[in-house]
A and B are shown apart, each in its own frame.
Chain A
């Protein structure tokens, strides 16, 4: 490059001597200097040759117009792409907010010819100018860099990266040099960066030569040609080396930007210091970065890393670079630690589901912790899989997918709050393409195998494990349906419903599909496609809800006559959502209920409680059970009510105990069980129980979720569907259920879900064994409307 710069110097000087400075006199008042890449003597073939024509005064600019034009023409004729600016020294020493490139290009000033005194004057004033305006220049540089990176979706892992402008490209290396210069340092960059720069520069040189112009995109064709040329047949491997170098530059630039910004902004720093109060015994916060107070503890306690990233996921605070380095230094130890079975699922589940999960996962990936816990993901690191649509490497695609999963756009955003196992969804997102690294099998099969191996070590609960495998196995299904099937054909929808089986899985699968498509490239999820996915979701959702009532268990899997008798008449959903063990427990409960007509079981789950009851059906039973829970001040989160052919009702309530009443007073659990049994058997009055409870204040108008009540007599076989979406409040379910029961409605099937103050309730109701008559329907509608208020 220097050689090329020298050659260009000769051409430029010759033209300048002839046209700009033909006489000794003409040297006065005008100087010629090289700036930008040419100033640095780093000139690529076909790159711009940046020139500064320094004129002493504005008058000089006007007078010299003709010879300057002639000079530039000559250079163009020689085949140089000249990019010139004509300035006075005063103009050079101003901060140009709009044209920061001029200021920046002057950092690489080099004299070529002309008025020595004029040039000397500028050169002399330059350091003081830079010193005085350092903050403004750094701000501008940082803004420009942000804008430039945004054009590349803030990632360096493009399949066809721009070697000059992209994140981790040559421009970022230059940024590093400039920042160091502005900081007053003149130290040579560390050898690692020097190597990275040389690698990228070499590629750029060849790209320009091959294209015959200033072409900086490392295209697939160029990757093939260069991998071949450099004696590495496999372009994918060759690209991994490129990404490694690019990452070194990207990180160093980020670090440098962070540190100079830290020195400049006072107010922001104060705010950041306030955040330092978030720290705890293990982890401190300084300048918006988390650090380990005693990093040497990592050696004895590798799970400290999990706590660090949980902290990041909770507060949105990235680990500091120093801490990241410490963790990287322990990579071998971490890998060994996590390579044996360790039931760390609860810790991972917390990281996966806290508000800043995508940030934490990205930080884990960058620090190599994700790879240490899940070496299954190694094969997809920086992996280029070429196809027409994908823009990113597989690991980057995965990270983007998780970000999309976490912040879906409307209408998908609502689904996220309704997903019952978000940890399993994120895990499935992490592994959905992991199989792309093992080309010998289909990528879905590969991903399933790897996810299974990983789950064998970290041990998620069986149900979540099943969900993960379901999601990975089917992650291409909805896309395939959208692409190849008629969405308005009922058969398509029935098949999709059969495949997804439950509403819960449908929601998770829809989100994963949304995220997977969105992460292919920034414009892959067009509004058109989003609409199609939403159409499909709605249709399958409706199909599954409809099924609740029409699709009953008739013929059975193995398990004895008693079992068949118990299950017959339950919705098929029951089999899909319960394990064998749970069915056995429910049968035992039903056996107990035969003596006294009712049996109730209350138990603690991980983050909530569950009440299960078996009883002979009677009017108002469901309302009574819901009322008993409300009477104890418990919040019902989810509920299901099914009845079998013999009129045995099985109701399940999942509820929260906001005041920790049950937890702190074990005797209250017994009292709840006894009260529920009495109320269900009709031996105690629910209204009595509820009388003493204070009614909560309604939420503010803006936060309220508008109530919607929808009746559908077409949907079910023998019952009317009532679907209610309303603002949740304590006692709501009791009020709704009594509104139905007290107006002669018999509740056949119930599916209740509550997410973030929103209750989504589906009831199938009959009256005298048939669908609701219009009169009954009107009466129930009015009572429900009063209940949701």
Chain B
């Protein structure tokens, strides 16, 4: 099992969800986050006062899938989240040791 964690542009969330749904993935966790990598901050002056936005709004998306499907999911996710510009975000893939469905104690792939 693999955990896929993606940091994406907020305005791409709907497209990404659609893309994942179309390949049969509809379970995920989404968090509103702030951060920056290479896309540095942004400066806005409002009425003479500077507003520095050094942490940009992003959306973090987490999901766990079987090892076999991992590549397919990552590809679909990246394609949907891409604009080609700095700030598109990153995808991280982790190994998952175990998954347990709390309701009925299902284990492993069948708990996903």
Binds B, one of A216-224, A576-584, A665-673, A708-716: A708-716
Q: In chain A between 484 and 541, which residues have their CB closer than 8 angstroms to a CB of chain B?
A: 484-488, 526, 528-529, 531-532, 535, 538-539, 541
Q: In chain B between 33 and 51, which residues have their CB closer than 8 angstroms to a CB of chain A?
A: 33-34, 42, 44-49, 51
Are the C-beta atoms of B10 and A532 separated by less than 8 Å?
yes
- At the interface, yes or no: B98 with Cβ under 8 Å from chain A? no
Task: List, in ascending order, chain A residues with CB within 8 A of B42's CB.
Answer: 488
Are the C-beta atoms of A528 and B45 separated by less than 8 Å?
no
Q: Which residue of A lies closest to B39 (CB)?
A: A488
Are the C-beta atoms of A528 and B57 separated by less than 8 Å?
yes
- At the interface, yes or no: A542 with Cβ under 8 Å from chain B? yes
- At the interface, yes or no: A373 with Cβ under 8 Å from chain B? no
Q: Output the least CB separation between B71 and chain A (Å).
A: 28
B47 is contacted by which of A484, A488, A760 (Cβ under 8 Å)?
A: A760
Are the C-beta atoms of A542 and B45 separated by less than 8 Å?
yes
Q: Output the least CB separation between A758 and chain B (Å).
A: 10
Distance of A724 Cα from B56 Cα, bound (Å): 28
Are the C-beta atoms of B53 and A708 separated by less than 8 Å?
no
Q: In chain A between 710 and 744, which residues have their CB closer than 8 angstroms to a CB of chain B?
A: 710, 712, 723-725
Are the C-beta atoms of A528 and B34 separated by less than 8 Å?
yes
Q: Which residue of B lies closest to A709 (CB)?
A: B48
Known contacts: A488-B42, A529-B32. The answer to whether A710 contacts B48 by CB under 8 A is yes
Task: List, in ascending order, chain A residues with CB within 8 A of B83's CB.
Answer: 486
Q: Output the least CB separation between A780 and chain B (Å).
A: 14
- At the interface, yes or no: A341 with Cβ under 8 Å from chain B? no
Distance of A531 Cα from B51 Cα, bound (Å): 11
Task: List, in ascending order, chain A residues with CB within 8 A of B34's CB.
Answer: 528
- At the interface, yes or no: B65 with Cβ under 8 Å from chain A? no
- At the interface, yes or no: A264 with Cβ under 8 Å from chain B? no
Distance of A708 Cα from B34 Cα, bound (Å): 29
Known contacts: A486-B9, A541-B46. The answer to whether A535 contacts B14 by CB under 8 A is no
Q: Output the least CB separation between A287 and chain B (Å).
A: 46
Task: List, in ascending order, chain A residues with CB within 8 A of B47's CB.
Answer: 708, 710, 723, 725, 760
Distance of A724 Cα from B34 Cα, bound (Å): 32
Task: List, in ascending order, chain A residues with CB within 8 A of B51's CB.
Answer: 538
Q: Which residue of A lies closest to B46 (CB)?
A: A538
- At the interface, yes or no: A194 with Cβ under 8 Å from chain B? no
Task: List, in ascending order, chain A residues with CB within 8 A of B13's CB.
Answer: 483
Pick the most buried of A488, A529, A538, A724: most chain B CB atoms within 10 A of its CB. A488
Known contacts: A526-B32, A535-B53, A541-B46. The answer to whether A488 contacts B14 by CB under 8 A is no
Q: Output the least CB separation between B70 and chain A (Å).
A: 28
Q: Which residue of A lies closest to B49 (CB)?
A: A708
Known contacts: A483-B14, A484-B11. The answer to whether A723 contacts B87 by CB under 8 A is no
Q: Which residue of B lies closest to A527 (CB)?
A: B32
Known contacts: A486-B83, A528-B32, A531-B57. The answer to whether A542 contacts B10 by CB under 8 A is no
Are the C-beta atoms of A532 and B57 separated by less than 8 Å?
yes
Q: Output the least CB separation between A706 and chain B (Å).
A: 10
Q: Which residue of B lies closest to A541 (CB)?
A: B46
Q: Output the least CB separation between B10 and chain A (Å).
A: 7
Q: Output the least CB separation between B6 and chain A (Å).
A: 17
Q: Output the least CB separation between A529 and chain B (Å).
A: 7
Q: In chain B between 43 and 92, which residues have their CB closer than 8 angstroms to a CB of chain A?
A: 44-49, 51, 53, 56-57, 83, 87
Task: List, in ascending order, chain B residues with CB within 8 A of A486's CB.
Answer: 9, 11, 83
Distance of A21 Cα from B108 Cα, bound (Å): 54
Distance of A376 Cα from B103 Cα, bound (Å): 47
Cβ contacts A466-489/B at 8 Å (1 or 0 each): 000000000000000011111110
Task: List, in ascending order, chain A residues with CB within 8 A of B45's CB.
Answer: 542, 710, 712
Pick the most buried of A538, A708, A712, A724: most chain B CB atoms within 10 A of its CB. A538
Q: Which residue of A lies closest to B34 (CB)?
A: A528
Task: List, in ascending order, chain A residues with CB within 8 A of B57's CB.
Answer: 487, 528, 531-532, 535
Q: Which residue of A lies closest to B56 (CB)?
A: A488
A542 is contacted by which of B9, B14, B44, B87 (Cβ under 8 Å)?
A: B44
Q: Output the least CB separation between A545 and chain B (Å).
A: 9
Task: List, in ascending order, chain A residues with CB within 8 A of B14's CB.
Answer: 483-484
Distance of A538 Cα from B49 Cα, bound (Å): 11
Are the C-beta atoms of B11 and A485 separated by less than 8 Å?
yes
Task: List, in ascending order, chain B residues with CB within 8 A of A483's CB.
Answer: 10-11, 13-14
Q: Which residue of B lies closest to A708 (CB)?
A: B48
Known contacts: A485-B11, A486-B9, A535-B53. The answer to whether A542 contacts B46 by CB under 8 A is yes
Q: Which residue of B lies closest to A762 (CB)?
A: B47
Are the C-beta atoms of B44 and A538 separated by less than 8 Å?
yes
Task: List, in ascending order, chain B residues with CB within 8 A of A538's CB.
Answer: 44, 46, 51
Are the C-beta atoms of A723 and B48 separated by less than 8 Å?
yes
Q: Output the least CB separation between A335 and chain B (Å).
A: 43
Distance of A541 Cα from B44 Cα, bound (Å): 11
Task: List, in ascending order, chain B residues with CB within 8 A of A724's CB.
Answer: 48
Q: Output the least CB separation between A664 and chain B (Å).
A: 37
Distance of A709 Cα from B87 Cα, bound (Å): 33
Q: Output the least CB separation between B36 and chain A (Å).
A: 12
Cβ contacts A743-784/B at 8 Å (1 or 0 each): 000000000000000001000000000000000000000000
Distance of A386 Cα from B64 Cα, bound (Å): 29
Distance of A526 Cα from B33 Cα, bound (Å): 11
Task: List, in ascending order, chain B residues with CB within 8 A of A487's CB.
Answer: 11, 57
Task: List, in ascending order, chain B residues with CB within 8 A of A725's CB.
Answer: 47-48
Task: List, in ascending order, chain A residues with CB within 8 A of B32's CB.
Answer: 526, 528-529
Distance of A538 Cα from B48 Cα, bound (Å): 12
Task: List, in ascending order, chain B residues with CB within 8 A of A541's CB.
Answer: 46
Q: Which residue of A lies closest to B13 (CB)?
A: A483
Task: List, in ascending order, chain A residues with CB within 8 A of B44's CB.
Answer: 535, 538-539, 542
Distance of A526 Cα from B59 Cα, bound (Å): 13
Distance of A541 Cα from B48 Cα, bound (Å): 13
Task: List, in ascending order, chain B residues with CB within 8 A of A532's CB.
Answer: 10, 57
Task: List, in ascending order, chain B residues with CB within 8 A of A484's CB.
Answer: 11, 14
Task: List, in ascending order, chain A residues with CB within 8 A of B48's CB.
Answer: 708-710, 723-725
Distance of A761 Cα from B16 Cα, bound (Å): 44
Q: In chain A between 154 and 207, which residues have their CB closer than 8 angstroms to a CB of chain B?
A: none
Q: Which residue of A lies closest to B51 (CB)?
A: A538
28 A–B contact pairs at CB < 8 A?
A482-B10, A483-B10, A483-B11, A483-B13, A483-B14, A484-B11, A486-B9, A486-B11, A487-B11, A488-B42, A488-B87, A526-B32, A528-B32, A528-B33, A528-B34, A529-B32, A531-B57, A532-B57, A535-B53, A535-B57, A541-B46, A542-B46, A708-B48, A708-B49, A709-B48, A710-B47, A723-B47, A724-B48
Shortest Cβ-Cβ A-B pairs, 10 listed = A710-B48, A708-B48, A528-B32, A538-B46, A538-B44, A725-B47, A484-B11, A723-B48, A485-B11, A532-B57
Can you name 18 extra interface pairs (CB under 8 A) apart from A528-B57, A542-B46? A483-B11, A484-B11, A484-B14, A486-B11, A487-B57, A488-B42, A528-B33, A531-B57, A532-B57, A535-B57, A542-B44, A708-B49, A710-B45, A710-B47, A710-B48, A710-B49, A723-B47, A724-B48
